[in-house]
């Protein structure tokens, strides 16, 4: 913590007046890694920088759906639309979202409108959820897979929930036995990202059904709801039909609540708008009062804040989604999605191919199939976790990602690659152990060759 205070010019005495949990979040953000000074140096030196930090499609030239852009322009330029809105979301957007995930097509079920809560991205939704669910005085716990997007660890830390990390199996999917053992009487929620970050691994419908079975059994055992939260932000990139956590919950007879999280940050390529939502499903007869209380509490939480998401953006999205019922618009949108998916896949695979040719790089065990071959099916999102063999470089004070960027800066390689140290996706107790990795946002395209060559030169330098 002292290091952070020094870096930020904060005196420890002054920090004592504040909520100490806030400072712990610095461990769980991609905006505070040790690589950033190298990026600043590279920018100042006018070097070609490969920004591989945040999973932002826009940075890599992948832009939003055109009709949505037009509606945004109209709505933001109409002064009458710039008014306060229902705190839980623009009612017509909530109505449309009650019918399903519009980007993947309607699903044939409808949620009550009050079960849809619009937020400032999934990030906002998770913050609200933790604020509503966690009673730190009770020692409440949350269950999070071991390799996980930083948000979940961060928000658990802020809310002071105890985190139980679940181990992954050899394919990078939550180990079901360990999941069962990790859910205790104190567990409030289980967070599952159905297609991952940083790993890119996708959970199958069967595994999700097994997870439902385990959570159901624990709810019966402890007689309280355990919120099963499914982050499906990358589902639009799945080659097969997207996994639908609510439909699966209906089919599998989910007892307690399932919450689906989605946002327009990835497939819609609009992360800067900060628009996402939770869809709360509860079909069982048990825990109806508890789920009603949760939904009401979310809405009361949002009321004093006057709503988290901008009104014009919500109206523009409503207009876009509403039109998808029209078959000509649906076709246009499906073309947009299919092209985007193919383009992302092409880029990720070509970067993966390039990395595989560099002798000395290693990939996590999850990327290998049964016959020890690297398996492209493990890469479903646009992230690649990769490391430099620990026979070439040991763990040190600075992350390998930072050492690589420093080397590239000082040795005039074609580019400077700014990656995220892999440990950032782990809880503190799992860091600084074993093989170190860094995570690439594998969306760079024209700069692919200079990026790969620059990584290669760093690895080469470690051999001599
Ligand atoms: C798994 C996952 N969930 C959520 C987010 C953030 O979503 P949003 O922009 O909607 O807050 C990210 C961002 O990279 C992510 O990887």
For position 464, what pLDDT does the model report?
Answer: 82
Q: How far is the CA of 260 from the centre of ligand 1 (A)?
A: 13
**Torsion angle, CA of 334/62/352/380, rounded to 10 degrees?**
-40
Tell me what the mean pLDDT of segment 193-214 comes to. Answer: 95
Query: Ligand 1 in contact with 265 (CB < 6 A)?
Result: yes
Q: Which atom of ligand 1 is nearest to the CA of 266?
A: 9
**Strand, helix or coil for residue 162:** strand
pLDDT digits (tens, 9 = 90+) for 378-392: 899 999 999 999 999
Mean pLDDT of 195-222: 96
- What pLDDT sits at residue 369? 86
- Tens of pLDDT, residue by residue over 319-366, are 999 999 888 899 999 999 999 999 999 999 999 999 999 999 999 999
pLDDT recorded at residue 375:
86
Residues 6+ apart with CB under 8 A from 133: 140, 159, 161, 188, 189, 227, 294
* pLDDT digit string, tens, across residues 174-194: 999 999 999 999 999 999 999
pLDDT at 1: 82
For the CA of 196, the nearest atom of ligand 1: 1
Q: Is 57 in the pocket of ligand 1 (CB under 6 A)?
A: no
| Ligand 1 atom 14, closest CA | 55
What is the average pLDDT across 152-159? 96
Q: Whose CA is nearest to atom 15 of ligand 1?
A: 149
Average pLDDT in the chain: 95
Cα–Cα distance, 179 to 168 (Å, whole number): 9
Q: What is the pLDDT of residue 389?
A: 96
In short, whether 157's Cβ falls inside 6 Å of ligand 1 is no
Angle (CA) 102-29-457 rounded to 5° is 100
The reported pTM is: 0.97
Average pLDDT of 246-250? Answer: 96
Asked if pLDDT for residue 202 goes beyond 90, the answer is yes
d(CA 296, CA 285): 18
For residue 459, report the distance from its CA to the centre of ligand 1, in Å: 31
Whether 197 is in the pocket of ligand 1, judged by its Cβ within 6 Å, is yes
| Ligand 1 centroid distance, CA of 443 (Å) | 16
Beta carbon of 101 within 6 Å of any ligand 1 atom: no
The token duo for 142 is: 């949350």
State the pLDDT at residue 284.
81
Tens digit of pLDDT for each residue in 416-445? Answer: 999 999 999 999 999 999 999 999 999 999
Confidence category of residue 260, pLDDT binned at 50, 70, 90: very high
């Amino acid at each position: 913590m002292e290091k952070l205070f020094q870096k930020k010019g904060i005196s420890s005495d002054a920090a004592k007046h504040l909520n100490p949990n806030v400072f712990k979040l610095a461990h769980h953000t991609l905006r505070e890694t040790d690589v950033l000074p190298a990026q600043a140096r590279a920018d100042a030196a006018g070097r070609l920088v490969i920004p591989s930090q945040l999973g932002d499609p826009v940075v890599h030239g992948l832009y939003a759906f055109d009709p949505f852009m037009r509606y945004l322009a109209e709505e933001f330029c109409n002064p009458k639309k710039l008014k306060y809105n229902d705190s839980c979301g623009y009612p017509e957007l909530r109505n449309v979202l009650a019918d399903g995930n519009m980007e993947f097509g309607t699903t044939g079920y409808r949620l009550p409108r009050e079960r849809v809560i619009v937020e400032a991205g999934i990030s906002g939704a998770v913050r609200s959820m933790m604020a509503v669910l966690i009673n730190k005085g009770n020692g409440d716990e949350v269950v999070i897979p071991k390799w996980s997007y930083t948000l979940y660890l961060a928000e658990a830390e802020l809310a002071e929930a105890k985190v139980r990390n679940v181990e992954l199996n050899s394919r990078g999917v939550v180990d079901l036995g360990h999941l069962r053992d990790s859910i205790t009487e104190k567990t409030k929620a289980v967070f599952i990202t159905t297609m991952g970050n940083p790993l890119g691994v996708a959970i199958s419908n069967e595994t999700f059904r097994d997870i439902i079975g385990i959570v159901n059994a624990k709810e019966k055992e402890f007689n309280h709801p355990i919120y099963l939260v499914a982050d499906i932000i990358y589902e639009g990139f799945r080659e097969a039909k997207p996994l639908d956590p609510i439909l699966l919950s209906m089919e599998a007879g989910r007892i307690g609540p399932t919450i689906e999280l989605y946002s327009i940050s990835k497939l819609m390529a609009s992360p800067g708008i900060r628009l996402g939502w939770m869809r709360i499903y509860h079909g069982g007869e048990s825990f109806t009062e508890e789920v009603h209380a949760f939904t009401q509490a979310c809405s009361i939480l949002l009321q004093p804040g006057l709503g988290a998401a901008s009104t014009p953006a919500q109206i523009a999205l409503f207009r876009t989604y509403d039109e998808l019922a029209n078959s000509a618009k649906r076709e246009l949108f499906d073309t947009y999605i299919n092209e985007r998916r193919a383009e992302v896949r092409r880029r990720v695979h070509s970067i993966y191919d390039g990395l595989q040719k560099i002798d000395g790089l290693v990939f996590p065990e999850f990327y290998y199939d049964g016959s020890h071959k690297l398996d492209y099916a493990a890469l479903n999102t646009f992230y690649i976790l990769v490391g430099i063999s620990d026979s070439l470089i040991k763990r040190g004070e600075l992350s390998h990602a930072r050492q690589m960027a420093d080397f590239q800066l000082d040795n005039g390689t074609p580019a400077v690659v700014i990656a995220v140290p892999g440990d950032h996706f782990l809880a503190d107790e799992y860091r600084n152990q074993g093989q170190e990795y860094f995570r690439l946002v594998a969306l760079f395209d024209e700069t692919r060759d200079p990026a790969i060559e620059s990584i290669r030169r760093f690895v080469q330098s470690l051999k001599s």
